Amino acid sequence: MIRCIDWNGLQAVEFAKGDYTALLVPSMGANLVRLANTRLGVEILRTPAADEIETFKGRPQVFGLPVLFPPNRIADGRYTFEGRTYQYPITIEKEHNYHHGILKSQPFAVSKALESDDEVLVECRYYANAGNDAIYRDFPHAFKCKITFRLSNEGLVQEIMFANRSTERMPVGVGFHTPMRIPFAGGTDADYVMRVAVGEQVELSGRNLPTGRRLPLTERFAKLRDGGLRVTDCDPIEAGFTLREIEVDGKPFRGALVENLRTGVRTFYEVDDKTTYWTIWNNGGHEPYCCPEPQSWTTNAPNMADPEAEGFRSIAPGESWRMGFRLYAK
């Protein structure tokens, strides 16, 4: 099933396959605001309620699958690459940082919507050029961003692609501010834990920027790797980590999961090899979600001593770059 609907005054695409149903809002950064396994009664993502639509419009990063380009923070909103200075507006005055990227609220267009026996495919595109003042002013490259969603009885596969349509190399750093819903199927916060494929903790300054030091996991954060950590109705979490696979069900796992300890049902968020860094944030610890945020580069990578070692990448003119994810419940 695939159809266009009016969703609280916004045009949306609703689609379903097998046990899964999804809801996409192209005009808000191609944000997939709902993903649910209807057989298990599981809501994987935080979805805006009817009385949260204005909040969603103002802060799309705390709902669904919001894209961050570039991810997380840029110190002073500025970095230099190949002799060009990129200057973004300061969005966190107390830290004097820019954060959360330029695409999360931009209008994408649905460029493809297909259904086969096995899956539903929805593709959205955004084109940046000199006519898009809000984007081109801060990031003066012509580029195409394409986000593809494939929904099947195995869950959701998401791919984001950037193609450089400019005449100079283009920096690329991507993240998603994914709020995984907790509780996702009844019970209380105490029933749920999160595991994440974290390696070392990245020390952050008072401005929430990496200092360059990597530290062993504390006793608290070591639970992310083994056993699981309670991440809601708890103390605040805002921390950065390198990525190192964990073992889940006897197999290597690269991603994050939330488990209901009472029922054994889990929601999974798998990432590919483009993810090198995690930000984990629970918005103070008393909201019904926690965000394991996969990033292709370390926060503020362009300004660090060795940007490439921190995941900084660029795309040659005419070339493209991709990053992929999978979400499901079982």
Q: How far is CA 309 from CA 68, 199, 240, 319, in A?
A: 20, 15, 16, 21
- What gap in Å lies between CA 35 and CA 65, rounded to an integer? 10
Confidence (pLDDT) at 137: 87
Half-sphere exposure of 124 (CA within 13 A, CB side): 23
| pLDDT value for 85 | 96
In this prediction, the residues of the chain whose per-residue pLDDT falls under 70 are none
Quick one: pLDDT at residue 93? 97
CA dihedral over 91, 97, 100, 103, signed as positive or negative:
positive
What distance in Å separates the CA atoms of residue 173 and residue 108, rounded to the nearest whole number? 19
Rounded Cα–Cα distance for residues 159 and 242 (Å)? 22
Please report, as a single letter, which amino acid is at residue 303: N
pLDDT for residue 180: 98
Cα–Cα nearest to 37, from 147, 185, 190:
185
- Residue indicated by tokens 């931009």: 106
Q: Give the three-state DSSP class for 91.
A: coil
SS3 166: coil
Residue whose C-alpha is closest to residue 177's, from 65, 96, 98? 65
- 9, 53, 48, 55: which is closest to 32 by C-alpha? 48
pLDDT of amino acid 14: 98
In the chain, what are the domains? 2-329 (2.70.98.10)
pLDDT score recorded for residue 130: 84
Mapped onto helix, strand or coil, the DSSP state of residue 189 is helix
According to the model, what pLDDT value does residue 272 have?
98
136 phi, psi to nearest 5 deg: -65, -30
CA distance to 8, 85, 183, 185, per residue, from 41 (Å) = 23, 49, 11, 6
